[in-house]
Amino acid sequence: MKKHRLAARVGQIAPFQVMAILARAKALASQGEDVIHLEIGEPDFVAVEDVANAGVLAIQQGKTGYTSATGLPELKSAISDYYQSRYQVSVAPERIIVTPGASGALLLMASLMVNPGEEVMMPDPCYPCNRHFLIQAGASAKLIETKVEQGFEMDLGALSEHWQDNTSGLWLASPSNPTGAVLSKQYVTEAWQKVSELGGHLLVDEIYQGLVYEGEDFSALSIADDIFVINSFSKYFAMTGWRLGWLVVPEWAIEGATKLAQNLFISAPSVSQYAAVHAFSPEVLAECERRRQTLDARRMVLLQGLEALGLPVVAPAHGAFYVYVDVSAITQDAMAWCLALLESEKVALTPGADFGIKNAHKYVRFAYTCDQDRLQEALVRIARFIKN
């Protein structure tokens, strides 16, 4: 009798530890418990009304069929215009590949630029799915240890020491998940110069672009045309479930990216694309800016509260909606601590082991994705938990 078995690559993909916390949090909530969710990277915002209405209209008008594999021409033009007006960067619409979420863009990027047996360098910690997309391409990630004192930024001076014959490139993110840190333009420029000298490619994940509170909000596309950039409508535009993102490629990669998009996705969701065209209107952008200010106010509440609790924030929380915290003074097992906190005080957090390897047991990610009153209540509960 034939034994059923999964593909070997499945065993190389680690599950999110936070999913165990989320499952337990949902179970507690179903029992009537008041759970405060600071674990999932999804704010309590939804798509701005004008955008949502445009999606409804698309359905009513029957605009639900396939689009071009690389996206609606009017959406690609709107994204191109946005780069020009907000960041003073000229990006031809043809270089923009609209994808089913930024996850689709990351899968497309791994398939486009990385061969089986090659590796891509990433800082430790970083977004874990990046590693798993490479596994799907038969490749792997090489996590480079970073230091708390440097805000978890990779030491670019040592880049050549880590580079091997099978190294394909370097993937960075700004603002960062899980740390909330924002890379400087000087840093990204140096990264591009060094990677270019080494003969590799540079990808910059800009999924949280726009959600910057300190530092410069810029695009890596302002540095060079041969930098690959990923973005999304999920975070700044609060369209998580609409599953829409994009990848910007150099001109020489357009044909290859188009072939892959045709085969991997057919097209991104058509209704989401018609809705997203309206995301760049002045009224919608003004609302997105108001929400950014709301997130900034929440950030300050959390930072001040954590300081009062004596919990060190270990990276500059200048962007996205995350704060990375060192809990090693009170536990040597962040996962166990998060589970105990959830059971005792009904506050859900994400353990650092989801994001990296080196000293991951020391860290916890807070997501300030609920209002200030809930954040204040969470801090009260955490203080009580630590005291007991």
Q: Where are the domains of the chain?
A: 8-46+284-387, 49-280
Q: In which band, very low, low, confident or very high, does the pLDDT at 167 lie, cut at 50, 70 and 90?
A: very high
The stretch 159-188 carries a mean pLDDT of 97
State how far the Cα of 129 lies from the Cα of 104, in Å rounded to an integer.
11
CATH says 49-280 is which class?
Answer: alpha beta
Q: Could you give the C-alpha distances from 226 to 160, 203, 218, 243, 263, in angstroms and in order?
A: 20, 9, 16, 26, 24
More confidently predicted of 75 and 151? 75
Q: In which band, very low, low, confident or very high, does the pLDDT at 252 lie, cut at 50, 70 and 90?
A: very high
The stretch 266-289 carries a mean pLDDT of 98
Query: Residue 331 is encoded by which pair of tokens?
Result: 């536990």
Report the pLDDT value the prediction gives residue 281, as an integer from 0 to 100. Answer: 97
Work out the mean pLDDT of the chain and round it to a whole number: 96
> Among 354, 358, 383, which Cα is nearest to 367's?
354
Q: What is the pLDDT of residues 329-365, one digit of tens each?
A: 999 999 999 999 999 999 999 999 999 999 999 999 9
Residue 116 has pLDDT above 90, yes or no: yes
Q: What is the side-by-side strand order in the sheet with 350-351?
A: 322-326, 363-367, 350-351
State how far the Cα of 7 lies from the Cα of 39, in Å rounded to an integer.
30
The architecture of the domain spanning 8-46+284-387 is Alpha-Beta Complex (3.90)
Q: What is the pLDDT of residues 176-225, one digit of tens each?
A: 999 999 999 999 999 999 999 999 999 999 999 999 999 999 999 999 99
Q: What is the pLDDT of residues 9-30, one digit of tens each?
A: 988 887 777 888 889 999 999 9
Q: In which band, very low, low, confident or very high, does the pLDDT at 1 lie, cut at 50, 70 and 90?
A: low
Report the pLDDT value the prediction gives residue 296, as an integer from 0 to 100. Answer: 98
